[in-house]
A and B are shown apart, each in its own frame.
Chain A
């Protein structure tokens, strides 16, 4: 017996949509699913956006151990900078704790001997603390260095005047406050493109990551439905109706793709409406989303076709979803990963999609700018979708 070729007929198309429609209906049938698909990703975009500076200036914790004139002028100068908020603390231990727990984006410890050292013409060191995983701290570091350099110029001027016997260091330092001294302008030149451009909406930093993470997670957990449908004998029952195996596979595939796309559109539209995230060029963003959804649904089909029981499958799906997400920059920004981790990331579809969305969201790129990413994702999609559909069909036609 030979398998007849799959021909497109209106009745078949209706059947494909009937099978796919049931998958989407089942996705939203459980209240918990509504939470995980709609609320959770947007909640994470909000929380992580806040952590990366959403709407508030970065917080700099400062411990002024000596409380001398130079130290106080430095604190006042930092406080006067609109780009950051200074939180004064009393001890270095408290500062470390606050930075570690994210209550401050970075910390500055001004040593007790600062005034004594600089008034005698020496150089003192202030300690700047930040978590390496916090990109806001990198920006904050630049601004803090700029203010310190400005203050150091004034201190140096006072030191020179004191050395020329033109008064005490304190008198000279006070005098520098009344004289117009040009501040030091720190110009930060970035080779290539800056990972976190100035003025970017902080929610836009995390929205693509959450999109990638949740599209994959939702697709993979929805793969459990494929297993359930098979285990319950529903697939065999479908095949006993005048429905070809190809139509059933097409319906299941469209259902998986529909679920992935729905999840992606919820994150895109939700983050745009609620947090003002600009996803960049619409055709480029749509192409990227569609290709990534095809990859995710291909994996879901494959997992659903290969595994037999929902219990072990759930563990595997969560492991795959979170593991690939973590490796591919959907949990920790790809820019913060080291060399080997970046190499590993390049084997995940997440990393390519992340790079594509980064180009669109942060740098205003277009479809040609993300052509390599689109190409790689298309490759992933073809391979995984083909494997998934073939395996599923093999389970139906015995």
Chain B
């Protein structure tokens, strides 16, 4: 069983009468990517700041690899790689100088520092631009270097706060691929985003946060199941559609069938595994299916269901 790398319980932070985070609890195991999904102002950055140890919490506890962690614990900070939302780099230093600077803060020096710097440059694909000032980098390159800084200390827990904000689609894909590879190497990843697609694509589990509270968490399927809403399957088909509809309605997984002008529309408990049976049934009814479209409820729908507002509000 995978070890728990991050465990936080009952986290709370208030600014005067405004409660920014209330009773937040998260657990992430090694190799797992956990997405904290919420709109701007939901409390993601506050939560992350307490988890990485740059913001004192009012209540609750955080452990990293089983060790208690807070703003003063340098031993546990060694286990964390932090990639903040803003580009926290010196623009007038080169990429390599930036890495070496933060590497020194992590206690690296000499040959070890140079070797680790080169390794990270290689991982983020910036070896050929390492000697140039960050000021000359494109937005995507800067973001990649920014992530690289978070990898210098070979962290057990990598915390990325909205790392793809303001990044072009190509660099965004590169960043997501990078994160997936890192998780594959056994790192626990905590990833905040307000992009539903990123959370769906990248994260093993997702926590939905709004107004400082964790509203729900689980795998994408778990969360969607909470909606108690079925998948919608639309078949573009020719032939005896009425006969096919009658045959499909007899399947246990299909709860409703509509005959449309150019095909059929079905509501299915879980479309994926049942699709072969559906297609076989329509074939036996003498109907030729020209295209299939499956619409599953997504995290956007879950968020709307849980909070009553859209994710980008």
Contact = CB atoms under 8 A, between A and B. Distances in A.
B70 interface: yes
A234 B82 contact: no
Contact of B105 (A18, A30, A232, A398): A18
A239 B52 CA distance: 9
Contacts of B302: none
Query: Which secondary structure dominates chain B's binding surface?
Result: loop
Given A241-B77, A243-B74, A15 B54 contact: no
A335 B75 CA distance: 58
A242 interface: yes
Interface string A229-245: 00011101111111110
B90 A240 contact: no
A296 to B, nearest CB: 22
Nearest to B101: A22
Contacts of B74: 242-244
Interface in A1-43: 1, 3-4, 11, 14-15, 18-19, 22, 25-26, 29-30
A225 to B, nearest CB: 9
Contact of A234 (B77, B90, B104): B90
A397 interface: yes
Interface string A382-398: 00000000000000011
A236 B90 contact: no
Contacts of B304: none
B90 A26 contact: yes
Given A22-B101, A242-B106, 6 more contacts: A1-B56, A26-B93, A240-B52, A241-B82, A243-B105, A398-B54
A126 B299 CA distance: 97
A29 B92 contact: yes
Contact of B104 (A18, A25, A236, A397): A18
Interface in A158-180: none
B71 A233 contact: no
Given A11-B107, A15-B104, A232-B86, A240 B56 contact: no
Interface string A190-227: 00000000000000000000000000000000000000
B175 interface: no
Interface residues of B, number: 34
Interface of A: 1, 3-4, 11, 14-15, 18-19, 22, 25-26, 29-30, 232-234, 236-244, 397-398
B106 A240 contact: no
A34 B275 CA distance: 70
A22 to B, nearest CB: 6
Contact of B72 (A11, A232, A240, A244): A244
B90 A239 contact: no
A19 B102 CA distance: 9
Nearest to A238: B105
A233 B93 contact: no
30 contacts: A1-B56, A4-B72, A18-B101, A18-B104, A19-B105, A25-B93, A25-B97, A26-B90, A26-B92, A232-B86, A233-B86, A233-B87, A233-B88, A236-B49, A236-B54, A236-B84, A237-B88, A237-B102, A238-B102, A239-B53, A240-B82, A240-B84, A242-B74, A242-B106, A243-B77, A244-B72, A244-B74, A397-B56, A397-B71, A398-B55
